């Protein structure tokens, strides 16, 4: 999975259902890359974090929470 969430100051929710079969026998690795203060997409953002040495990365935690779906017929 390669994706981004840039800087929205919101919790990032990622669905893992499509990876379920691969995760039976394999580990999942999460790799985070910092934003750089000269990245062109930053011009589109309303607010920016404080960069340190030209970089910003703040991962406050990773939590896996199971979600279930139930169909009820009346």
Q: What are the tens digits of pLDDT across the range 26-68?
A: 998 888 889 999 999 888 888 888 999 999 998 888 888 888 8
Structure tokens at 9: 């100051």
Contact 57, 35 (CB under 8 A): yes
Long-range contacts, stretch 64-67, CB < 8 angstroms, 24+ apart? 64/16
Q: Which two tokens stand for residue 24?
A: 């039976």
Q: What is the pLDDT of residues 3-29, one digit of tens each?
A: 666 666 677 788 888 888 998 999 988
pLDDT, position 8: 66
């Amino acid at each position: 999975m390669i994706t981004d969430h840039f800087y929205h100051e919101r919790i990032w929710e990622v669905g893992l259902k499509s990876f379920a079969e691969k995760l039976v026998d394999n580990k999942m690795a999460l790799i985070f890359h910092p934003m750089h203060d000269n990245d062109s997409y930053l011009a589109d953002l309303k607010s920016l974090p404080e960069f340190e040495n030209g970089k910003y990365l703040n991962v406050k935690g990773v939590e896996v929470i199971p979600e279930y779906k139930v169909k009820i017929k009346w």
